[in-house]
Amino acid sequence: MSYELVINSTDNEVVTALLHENKLIELHKQGLDDKFNVGDVYLGKVKKIVPSLNAAFVDVGYEKDAFLHYHDLGPRFKSMNKYVQNTLVGKQSTSKLGYNKIEAQIDKDGKMKDHLSSKQLMAVQVIKEPISAKGPRISAEVTLAGRFLVLVPFSDKISVSQKIKEQSER
């Protein structure tokens, strides 16, 4: 079984198609606007690290920088960050995550400055939309939701939707 995800991004909209053995299964069209929606994924640039908050402010294109707390880095931050950095410099020869070495989990009580540096680029996902004078809240633990499962890159857990009732199919 081969699946393929095709994304066409233009100035006006983003069209995402999911193909199974070259047949269209799902098609999503989304118009582009300046709003930030929960679940959107961005390549952000670290602007400032605030040790007293154990957090960082990241530029994702919004007028106010997004807020990233240390706990929102996720346990597999090192693996995801290494993948993103290698992709940015052209060292990543394939998009398949299975070919990457899984790095050790980050310490739950660690410091933001030990993992991030100013002007660093990183993959982030909006987890809370901006309100009043604050920018969006983001996470570096990117999750991609599908119809029957949620993909968490570099995670060793497998979770299947409760919608699938038959044990043999699960």
Alpha helices in 16-150 (DSSP H): 77-88
Record the pTM. Answer: 0.74
Under DSSP, the state recorded for 106 is P
Q: How far apart are the first and last CA of the chain?
A: 17
User: Given this model, what pLDDT does residue 34 score?
Assistant: 59
Confidence of residue 102 (pLDDT cuts 50, 70, 90): confident
What is the per-residue pLDDT across 85-98, written as a single tens digit (0 to 9) for each? 988 998 877 777 77
